[in-house]
Structures are given as structure tokens and as C-alpha cells.
Chains A and B, each alone.
Chain A
Amino acid sequence: MAETNGGASRLEIRFSGSGGQGILLAAAIVAEAATALGKNVVQTQSYGPAARGGASKAEAIIADEEIDYPEVDTPDVSLCLSQEAYEKYARDTRSGGLLVYDSGLVEPDDSLQGRDLRGIPFTRAAAEHLKKTVVANIVAVGALVEITGMVPAEAAEAAVVSRVPERFRELNVEAFRLGRRLAAEA
């Protein structure tokens, strides 16, 4: 955590993509894992009236102190799973912060100097290894947790288990572990 937010006791994470990619679920999983650690946690979301498509974002704040203002304006950590979300939100990432993006879907430009950029092909990897692109969000959560250590991997995996329907649990746990492996190898 200290590496991505300069050692402050407040970490702000923004998850972004297009509607239907499971951005909100990804944020809720990280928030739930942090809750289990006894941290103060706030998780918010922003989306348009449509259920599918359009840039959508969800945010989580994990802090030791009380969280008053609940929104994230300059995230310490950003995740981008679509080009539209990248163009709309990535630039807000704090200077010195971390940006993780789906390298199969996002073409980064040179406007993000001063941030640590990590591209991992989450959606392609989900298709290749798990035959299901729908769990790309969970692959990304696994990678984020592995890279940042924002919450312990065990707590995050437990949150994956509690947040997805029972019949998809195994698939999602595999996706989470795949994400961790991809990040470790990257």
C-alpha cells in the first residue's frame, strides 16, 4: 500500500470500464476484503442510465481514519478495462500512482507520464485459460491485489467467494488466482 499512495493511511482506488464488465463487483470485492480487516471503507459508483456500455466507474477508499468525503478525485490506483474508460478516467490518477489496464483492450497514450503503468491482457487471458471473458474483472482484481498488496490475497479471495453466486464460485476463484499469477509473471 505504501508504495502506491506515498505511505498515507488512506488509499483511493478507481475501477473503470464499460457497463456490464463487472466494475462494481470488482470494487465491492476489494471493499469487502478491506472491511474484514477492520479498516474504514467507503465504496461508491457512477454510471449512466444504461445497463450496458458507456464508461462506468466504481471507487473504493480504504483508510485508518474516518472517511468523510466519500468520492475519489485523484486515485492512487486506477484500473481501466476499456478504451473509453481509459480516456475518461485514467488521467485523474495521482502523479506517482499506479495504473493497471487491460492491454488487449486499451491503447495507452503518452499523457500519463509520471504514473506506473502496467498492462495485462485480462480479457484475453480469461478467454484462453478459463474460456469465459465474463470473469476478466475478477482476473483484474487478482492482479491488482498481487501488485499492490492493498488487501491480503486470502481476504480478497474470501470476498470473491462471498460476492459471487455459488454456481460460479469455482470459476471466479480460478479467475482471481489467474490474475495473481499473471501479475507475478508480468
Chain B
Amino acid sequence: MTDMSIAPILMQGNEAVAEGAIAAGARFFAGYPITPSTEIAETLARRMPEVGGSFIQMEDEIASISAVCGASLAGLKALTATSGPGFSLMQEMIGFAEMAQIPCVIVDVMRGGPSTGLPTEPSQGDVMQARWGTHGEHSVIALVPSSVEECFTLTIEAFNLSEQYRTPVIVLSDALIGHMREAVTLPEPGSLRIAERGTPDCAPEEYDTVMSDLDNILPRPPLGSPFRVHVTGLVYNRRSGAPETGDPQVAGDLGRYLREKIYHHRDSIARVEEYEMKDAEVAIFAYGSVARSAKAVVKWARARGVPVGLVRPITLWPFPTLAVDRMAEQVRTVIVPEMNLKQMSWEVQAAVSGRTKVVDFGRVDGKLITPAQIEELVKAEFYYHDWGKS
């Protein structure tokens, strides 16, 4: 992906999200500044006008996500960026976007919570909120970058998935990744795969007679186009789009469709990085910034001949079931370090379903879990190894 002809540049995670959004074709941002996400808004306030897009600072986060939904319905790729307190405020409209199938991207740069919490310190406390924050049965896609380069590439991926599946997609960054600068070589614009919205493959007057199915999700035509569209938060008839709350058949069909739209495709959506897993007896399951400490530990263990590997979900939701199944069949222990208290660890435990032991380690003091802390857990699993002075 990297091109040697392009010089590396020093870029911040939040800046990379903003540049990723521009590269993905986003032309609308609405947001309300909040640490540690503010640089995304700051960068896009400058960049959006340069590419003919719009930047609006709204009065709060509810208005921000509402404006984003509106812009997307009007045909633009749109995003907002926030942190925990703002993400909480956005939940109702995220549900609306799920229900009305509005493609958009929400970037949550996680900080310590709940409430105002630790505004400048990282956390992974919002991973379950990303999954279940809005009410009702729904599916969700959430991506977790663990480097500045991934802030760029996964923001593009978020837009692609949101267009492909007509759904809001959440990027779960954190205060450490968002504020970190790294030397990066960004891919050339021409080398990127960008999913465009497109128009339905039928005549406008036929639009309410055709219906998306799981393998052919019709694009959403923009408001104001010849296609007649109905947008509602009520349960609606999937064919006409019109509200229809009196028919259990219609309600059940929509409810199952909204879930299956993502679940049916979860193996192609879910991405993981498997590092040194080939002969691993113990796996570390870690995501986002913590995965960096975990990778350092795998290198440390391997240098001592100890078979430890890393499974790093890049897609947190849908949960990467296939990779976790493989891991459960292979290793005797999975170590799950995370900057919360057991949120994904429960999910891993449910998925491995007793096939392997799960050891969790949590930290909620705003500090990154260190390699030394994970090394202690690895040592306990290989107590018979001669660790010597190391």
C-alpha cells in the first residue's frame, strides 16, 4: 500500500481521520468540539471549504448528528466526531440512522468516563455503547484504529461500509491514538477503493415496487431526486418505505432485515490482524491502543521462545466470530487486556463458550496498559518456563 515515491509525513491521529474523510469523499461535517476529538473538527473546518464541502459547528451533539443525517439524506457523504459525553447525546439519532438506513460516519474518540470523566486521557469504555448505545434491536459496524495510518484507512473503510450497507458506521478511536503523531506514508489517492452512493437500478416510478434484499442493498436516492423516498423512524414497509405499525408481519420483516443486513455479511465485514498466531498456545486479544502494548509483548515473548500470538480485531462490531472461533480451537488461554473493566472480555468469553480459558485485565485510570502488565499475565500462563532475570 505504501509508495516509496511519497515521503513520510508526521501526522496526528485526529488529522488522519479528517484527511481520511476527505479522501473518502465526505463533503459535510457537523460537530461540536470536545476533547480529545477537537482536532478532527479543527482540521475539517479548514479542509471542507478547500474541497467544496461544508463545515458547520452546531449548538450541541444532538444537532450535529441530526445535521449529518440530513446531509446524507440530501446525497452527501457526511460525518461527525465527538467523545464520550457527545456520543451519549448522539445515541437517539444514531438509532434513527439505523432505522431509516442513513449512511453516515460517527467518530468517537474515547476518553475516560462516565460523564465528564477524564477529558484528556484515553479509555476504551465506549465499546459496548457503540454496540448497544441506542435502544431497540439493531446491528452496527464499529472499527477500531490502533495507529495513525489506520485512522486514515479505517475512516475511508467506514464510509465505504456505510454506503455499501446503508448504515451508520462508528470509528472508535481513543485519546491516545487521536492525539498521537506518527511518521506515516499515506496511500496515493488513486490507489484507494472508494464506494460511491450510486442510484437505484430501476426507473424512479418503479422504486417503491422493488425491495432491497440482503445481497442487493439498493442505494438510497437523495431527497429531491425523481425517486420518491419516505424517511421515518417508525416501523415501515420495506417496499414502499411508508410507516406501517399495525402489521406484525411487516414489523418483524423490518426488524430481522435491519439485523441481518449486517450479520449476514459479518464474515466479510469483520477484519482482524492475526500476528504470530500460527503455533501460539496463548493468544492476546487486544484492540486499539492497547493492541500496541500487546504486540510488544508478543515480540518480547517470541524472543524468549514462548509461543504467544496476537488477535487484534480491526472490526469490533460485528464481532469477528470466525477469527475468535479459530483462536478458541487453538489456544489454551486468551488474555484480554482492555482500558475498561471486562467489556469485550465478556464477549470473548461468550464466543469461546468454554473452549478455552479467558483471563482479563482492565485499567480505568486513564493510562495505557503497559507491556510489563501484560508480561506478568503471560508469565503466569507459562509458569514452567525458565524466565531467568528477564
Contacting pair B10 A44 (CB below 8 A): no
Does A41 lie within 8 Å of B179, measured CB to CB? Answer: no
Tell me how far the C-beta of B273 lies from the nearest C-beta in chain A, rounded to whole angstroms.
12
Q: How far is the CB of A43 from chain B (nearest CB, A)?
A: 4
Q: Are A45 and B183 in contact (CB under 8 A)?
A: no
Instruction: Annotate A24-52 by CB proximity to B: 1 below 8 A, 0 otherwise.
Output: 00001001101110111111111111000
- With a CB–CB cut-off of 8 A, which chain B residues contact A43? 10, 180-182
Contact A39 B180 (CB under 8 A): no
Secondary structure at the A interface, as helix, strand, loop or mixed, is mixed
- Of B10, B293, B371, the most chain A CB neighbours within 10 A belong to B10
Q: Are B119 and A49 in contact (CB under 8 A)?
A: yes
- Contact residues, B172-192 vs A (CB, 8 A): 176, 179-183
Stretch from A66-74, A117-125, A137-145, A174-182 contacting the other chain: A66-74
Kindly identify which residue among A31, A49, A69 contacts B10, using a CB–CB cutoff of 8 Å: A31
User: In the complex the two chains form, is A42's CB within 8 Å of B120's CB?
Assistant: no
Does the CB pair A69–B120 fall under 8 Å?
Answer: no
Alpha-carbon separation in the docked complex, A70 to B291 (Å):
11
Say yes or no: A45 contacts B368, CB within 8 Å. Answer: no
A43 and B148 alpha carbons, distance in the complex (Å): 11
Please indicate the chain A residues that have their CB under 8 angstroms from the CB of B299 in the complex. Answer: 68
Contact A40 B35 (CB under 8 A): no
Some 6 contacts from A to B, beta carbons below 8 A apart, are: A34-B183, A35-B10, A35-B183, A42-B180, A44-B180, A49-B119
CB distance from B11 to the nearest CB of A (A): 9
Number of A-B contacts (CB under 8 A): 60
- Please tell me if the beta carbons of A32 and B10 are within 8 angstroms of each other in the complex: yes
Asked if B131 is at the interface of the complex by the 8 Å CB criterion, the answer is no
Which of B8, B120, B182 contacts A47, CB < 8 Å?
Answer: B120
Q: How far is the CA of A43 from the CA of B15 in the complex (A)?
A: 14
Chain A residues with CB under 8 A of B293: 68-69
Given A36-B7, A43-B180, A70-B292, 16 more A-B residue pairs with CB atoms under 8 Å apart are A28-B181, A32-B10, A35-B9, A35-B10, A42-B181, A43-B10, A44-B176, A49-B35, A49-B119, A49-B120, A68-B292, A68-B293, A69-B293, A69-B371, A70-B176, A70-B368
A69 touching B176 in the complex, CB below 8 Å, given contacts A28-B10, A31-B10, A49-B120: no
Residues of B within 8 A of A39 (CB): 183
A42 to B8, CA, bound (A): 13
B103 to chain A, nearest CB (A): 32
Q: Which residues of A contact B289 (CB under 8 A)?
A: 70
CB-CB nearest 8 A-B residue pairs: A68-B296, A35-B183, A41-B183, A43-B181, A35-B10, A69-B296, A68-B295, A32-B10
Q: Produce 1/0 per residue, B108-146, CB < 8 A to A.
A: 000000000001110000000000000000000000000
What is the minimal beta-carbon distance from A126 to any residue of chain B, in angstroms? 25
Whether B225 sits at the interface, judged by CB under 8 Å, is: no
Shortest C-beta distance, A41 to chain B (Å), equals 4
A134 to B299, CA, bound (A): 43
| Chain A interface bracket (under 10, 10 to 19, 20 to 34, 35 or more) | 20 to 34
Docked Cα-Cα span, A36 to B10, in Å, equals: 8
- Interface residue from A40, A41, A46, A69 paired with B370 (Cβ < 8 Å): A69
Q: In the complex the two chains form, is A40's CB within 8 Å of B183's CB? A: yes
Minimal beta-carbon separation of B296 from chain A (angstroms): 4
**Contact partner, A44, options B179, B295, B370, Cβ 8 Å:** B179
Q: B4-22: contact bitstring with A at CB < 8 Å (1 yes, 0 no)?
A: 0001111000000000000
Quick one: given A68-B292, A70-B292, A73-B370, are A41 and B120 in contact (CB under 8 Å)? no
CA gap between A47 and B175 in the complex, in Å = 11
Q: What is the minimal beta-carbon distance from B7 to any residue of chain A, in angstroms?
A: 8
Closest to B9 in A: A35
Q: Which of B52-75 contact A (CB under 8 A)?
A: none
**Minimal Cβ-Cβ distance residue in A for B372:** A73
Q: What 1/0 flags go to A9-28 for Cβ under 8 Å of B?
A: 00000000000000000001
* Complex Cα spacing A38 to B382, Å: 38
Note all chain A residues with C-beta closer than 8 A to B183. 31, 34-35, 39-42
What residues of B have a CB within 8 angstroms of the CB of A32 in the complex? 10
A115 CB, nearest partner CB in chain B, Å: 22
- Complex-state Cα separation, A121 to B274, whole angstroms: 51
How far is A71 from B121 in the complex, measured between Cα atoms in Å? 13
- B119–A35 CB distance below 8 A: no
Alpha-carbon distance A73/B299, docked complex (angstroms): 18
User: Does A48 contact B120, Cβ atoms closer than 8 Å?
Assistant: yes
Q: Are B8 and A38 in contact (CB under 8 A)?
A: yes
Nearest CB in chain A: distance from B43 CB, A? 15
Q: Which residues of A contact B8 (CB under 8 A)?
A: 35, 38
Chain B residue nearest to A71 in the complex (CB): B368
A42/B368 contact (C-beta < 8 A), A49-B120, A69-B293 known: no
